[in-house]
Structure 1
Amino acid sequence: MSACKPLVLDVDGTFLSTDLLFETFWGGLHRAPLATLGAVARNIHDRAALKRALAEIAPPRFDLLPLNPELAARVEAARAEGREVVLASASDGQLVERLAAAHGLSAQSFASDGQTNLKGAAKGAALVAAYGERGFDYAGDNVADRAVWERADRALIVGAHPQIASGLRAAGHPVEQISTGWHWRDLARALRPHQWVKNVLLFVPMLAAHDFGVATVLLVLAGMVAFSAAASCIYIVNDLLDLEADRLHPTKCRRPFAAGTVPIKVGMAASLGLALVALGIAAALGAAMLGVVALYMTLSLAYSLRLKRMRWVDIATLAALYTLRVVAGAVASKVDVSVFMLVFVYPVFLTLGAVKRLTELALATTDERLPGRGYGRPDREDLLNVAGLGIVGALLTFFGYSFTEQAHILYPTRWLLWVALVPLAIWLIRMVVLGWQGKQDYDPIVFALRDKLGIGLICFALSLMFYGAGLWQRWFGF
């Protein structure tokens, strides 16, 4: 490469491992959803105007945007040679200029201006006007960049474009191909499959009704698949909304979309596909199940957009989302659910929601409010009080259930229900104590399903309840 020729870089997918249009779109949904959707509706057919509108609503943190490591190394090498490094992008000029400044690149840049979308031939013409025919080297990643490579000297092709590379070589251009791409395993991480374990909550109504038939189990498993797909759909949306907050987090910065290891548009397509799977399976299970899954997804989306940043409202919403899983189990399996059960599980999940925030505050390194949340360390005692009220409410509801007609039918030895309250109380109190001390996972449900002692306490309570129901005698003859 000639030392006197500038190195010109495309931005989206080349210098950056992300796309500024999608960054500003999701940043806008996070900060000002109505304004963002309005900008999209008004400018959907005018790409340059859309980019300018989104850039003004939600400019990203340029120092946090993930760089393509291969191109970053090329930039450093070019600068060491004394070459000018210039950004040329179809992204909005306001963003491109600030990105160049953030990384110490040339003050001269080429980009869309709100009226002209600088892409393909338009970009090539602008660069030739500035540097002359074949007066620059160009790095890009898109098929549209062929019109630029043909007018550059050396072509740096990011990604797999073998036919374009062959054509450029035949035309006498030096070509360098830079491999890049994303892996399915990274997308799988974004789905958070370990979180699917929460959907065992769909089995609660089946257990409470003592209905262990094969047909019931299969219906619940189908419901679990629907909820797993729905949850993964919302996890992706949540990650896209929280790109900036995740990049500031010590561990969440490694999430696929925040780190740029999976393109945002791939995440958007995956989220849409998962939503269709979830709603399709739910519809097959009946209109009621479709309604529950749709409500879960709507409430989850509202939580991601706004509710999770509202103190106390977020805990109440988390408890509602967990409770909806129990409702879904009843709807999918078509077993009768006591109102007492729903009243019982809600305060349990309210307690666990408080435990989640207690854990985050215990593990926080500063006294500032949690990023994207409304809580700080001064709120720990109030959270502890909410957790305590949840425990009392859950245990009183369980005790009240023991006097209902359904309990009389299902549990001939009713006093064992009262004994089962002891391990349940110990388990709930232990969860709160561990959260207060910061000795558990950020997600108490995931922690609970891996905690051997806690699982032992739950199993002991269930054993007492099964014995009181006569199930052990029926199954094993004692």
Structure 2
Amino acid sequence: MAEIGPLVLDVDGTFLKTDLLFESFWAALGKRPIATLGVIARNIRRPAEMKRELAELADLRLDLMPVNPDIAQLAVEGVGSGREVVLASASDKQYVAGLAETYGLSGRVFASDGKTNLKGPAKATQLVAEFGDRGFDYAGDSAVDRVVWEHSENALIVGDRPAEAKALTESGHSVTQFVAGWRKRDLIRALRPHQWVKNILLFLPMIAAHSFDMETLLLVVLGIAAFSAAASSIYIVNDLLDLEADRLHPTKCNRPFASGAVPIRVGMVTFLALVVISFGLGTALGPLFLGVLVLYMLLSLSYSLKLKRMRWVDIATLAGLYTLRVIAGAAASQVEASAFMLVFIFPVFITLGCVKRMTELTLATSDERLPGRGYGRPDRGDLLNVSGLGMFFALLVFFFYSFSDQARTLYPDQWIMWLALIPIAAWLFRMIRLGYYGKQDYDPIVFALKDKRGLGLLLFTLSMMFYAAGYWQEWLGF
């Protein structure tokens, strides 16, 4: 009986549901962004050198990488039967060797070495030199693998490659195909459309200024669309920078990029498309709005790259991002944003930022610091104190606002504004309490818009403000 040749597996998109080049790029970018961009600029035409230098910058957790279950099962069965299972990849040898060791595969690996980019013909040449023509079975996923399949005995095709499968079959190869790919709904999930509800904050200046005409409404809606596209682009970047931390998280490990449900390259292309859409809408709404939008995106990127890992700075940044949404609403609707309103909402968002961290810490499974964050469970007390201070200053600013000339003009019934402090305080206290005991969503804004009791308090507050402004009397005729 003829000896069965080795099973040779491509790595990116075949054994793994991800690409180690992109993994290393985003991991390195999160740790050393300037150095990473320098590597890309220097080696844009030298892929092997680029991969080697990125590998030196990024120490990947190879045991966390999402594997293709069908190909992984083939590897397990091969090893179990005594067959040599070999990894051959265009990724850097440092990663490929580590991956082989992690999964108990052959120590004989083929990969890029800093000089040769082991892809397509280069890979086929090395494998034929090592195992002979048609002396191995090969599993791959891309069109560039066709030259390798042609020199293999059995071609294992991962994904939809009908042209390659037909040509290989006609040339006498045994072809086995494995279903792979990504779904649009998983990409949509990566955009986090449920987070777009945060952008209703753009309506606040319009409501506060009592400007309820259709033209203003349409301008704000366009602003919300621009911010939604911008926010989704940043969510993609954030997820790509947080791949390792998400894979260590009990629920975030199921996110599209962390789980391998959507390829990283698809996320990068989607990011660019969303930026174009956002800037296009921002330009249409005027230079002031566009400036706020750009500032929001730059601050969001800074948060993703560095600030979210810095204690307290991360919470202040989150509060700033929420406040920028309100400023953007004023820029889009072309109404003046009251200084009192901005000073009021900032401590509110400081409180909600603390609530977000308290929720994460309460739901954490250990006392260690949160992956990618600067907090551990012992910090819950400090976060509770700061959230209480935020609540106090927000209520104090609202009380002082009731004495301002603008408030006297817009809300003649001043005493009703004082009464409105009660449901505002009740809502903030509820958010702090639920966050401290881990009884809400990881994002307090999203939770607030689903929390029926909390929504009742907010709507009651809004109703009181409308009454203080005389709108109920005008609308209902009494």
TM-score bracket for this pair, using the shorter chain length: over 0.9
Match of 2:464 in 1: 464
**In 2, Cα distance between equivalents of 1:388 and 1:80:** 59
Q: CA deviation at 1:267?
A: 0.3
- Counterpart in 2 of 1:10? 10
Displacement of 1:94 = 1.1
1:201-228 per-residue CA deviation (whole Å, 9 max, x = no partner) reads 1111111111111111111111111111
Distance 1:361 1:124 in 2: 50
Deviations 1:301-355 (A, max 9, x none): 0000000000000000000000011111111111111100000000100111111
Letter in 2 for 1:155: A
Question: Which amino acid counterpart does residue 375 of structure 1 have in structure 2?
Answer: Y
Residue in 2 that maps onto 1:122: 122
Amino acid at match of 1:93: K
| Mapping of residues 26-425 of structure 1, within 5 Å | 26-425=26-425
Task: Point out where structure 1 has 5 or more consecutive residues left out of the alignment.
Answer: none
How many angstroms apart in 1 are the aligned matches of 2:147 and 2:284? 49
Amino acid in structure 2 at the alignment position of 1:218:
L
- Aligned 8 A contact 1:3 1:81 in 2: no
- Aligned to 1:360, what secondary structure does the other structure show? helix
Q: Secondary structure at the match of 2:244?
A: helix
Amino acid at match of 1:466: F
Report the equivalent of 1:438: 438
3-state secondary structure, aligned to 1:156: strand
Instruction: Give the Cα separation in 2 of the matches to 1:120 and 1:376.
Output: 47
Superposition deviation, residue 161 in structure 1: 1.6
Report the 3-state secondary structure (helix = DSSP H, G, I; strand = E; otherwise coil) of the residue aligned with 1:155: strand
1:447 positional shift: 0.9
User: Structure 1 residues 2, 382: CA separation in 2 closer, same or farther (over 3 Å shift)?
Assistant: farther
Q: What is the letter of the counterpart of residue 401 of structure 1?
A: Y
CA distance in 2, matches of 1:55, 1:204: 47
Runs of 4+ in structure 1 deviating by more than 6 angstroms, as ranges, are: none
For residue 37 of structure 1, report the CA deviation from its aligned partner.
1.2
Tell me: CA distance 1:51–1:2, structure 2 relative to 1, closer, same or farther (3 Å): farther
Displacement of 1:3 in angstroms is 5.4
Q: Distance in 1 between matches of 2:107 and 2:76?
A: 16
CA distance in 2, matches of 1:475, 1:330: 25
- TM-score w.r.t. length of structure 1: 0.98
Structure 1 vs Structure 2 CA RMSD = 1.2
1:392-420: CA deviation from partner (whole Å, max 9, x where unpaired): 11111111111111111111111111111
> SS at 1:261's partner residue?
coil
Q: Distance in 2 between matches of 1:26 and 1:178?
A: 28
AA partner of residue 453 (structure 1) = R
Distance 1:366 1:400 in 2: 43
Report deviation, 1:365.
Answer: 2.2
Identity, % of aligned positions: 65
**What is the letter of the counterpart of residue 50 of structure 2?**
L
Q: Which amino acid aligns with 2:81?
A: E
Q: In structure 1, how many angstroms separate the alpha carbons of the residues matched to 2:52 and 2:79?
A: 30
Q: Is the 8 A contact 1:359 1:442 kept in 2?
A: yes
CA shift in 2, pair 1:412/1:187, >3 Å: same
Task: Give, in angstroms, the shift of residue 59 of structure 1.
Answer: 2.7
What count of residue pairs does the alignment treat as equivalent? Answer: 478
Letter in 2 for 1:224: I
CA distance in 1, matches of 2:381, 2:144: 58
Describe the SS at the equivalent of 2:138. strand
Q: Could you tell me how far apart the structure 1 residues matched to 2:15 and 2:8 are?
A: 10
Residue-by-residue CA offset, 1:2-22 (whole Å, 9 max, x unaligned)? 752100011111111000100
CA contact (8 A) 1:3 1:82 kept: no
Query: What amino acid is aligned across from residue 222 of structure 1 in structure 2?
Result: L
| Cα displacement (A) at 1:235 | 0.4
Q: Partner amino acid for 2:215?
A: A
Q: Which amino acid aligns with 1:279?
A: F
Q: Structure 2 length normalisation: TM-score?
A: 0.98
User: Given that residues 3 and 83 in structure 1 are in contact (C-alpha distance below 8 angstroms), is that contact kept between their aligned partners in structure 2?
Assistant: no
Superposed displacement of residue 135, structure 1: 0.5
SS at match of 1:250: coil
- Measured after TM superposition, the shift of residue 359 of structure 1 is 1.3
Q: Is the contact made by 1:6 and 1:84 (CA closer than 8 Å) also made in structure 2?
A: yes
Q: Secondary structure at the match of 1:63?
A: helix
Residue range with higher mean Cα deviation, 244-253 or 372-381 = 372-381
In the alignment, the residues of structure 1 paired with residue 59 and residue 368 of structure 2 have an alpha-carbon distance, to the nearest angstrom, of 24
Cα distance in 2 between the residues matched to 1:445 and 1:137: 53
Query: Partners in 2 of 1:363 and 1:108 — Cα distance?
Result: 43
Match of 1:428 in 2: 428
Q: What is the CA deviation profile of residues 90-119 of structure 1, one whole-angstrom value per residue up to 9, with x for unaligned ones?
A: 111111111101100001011111001111
Equivalent residues of 1:8, 1:88 under 8 A apart: yes
Q: Secondary structure at the match of 2:63?
A: coil
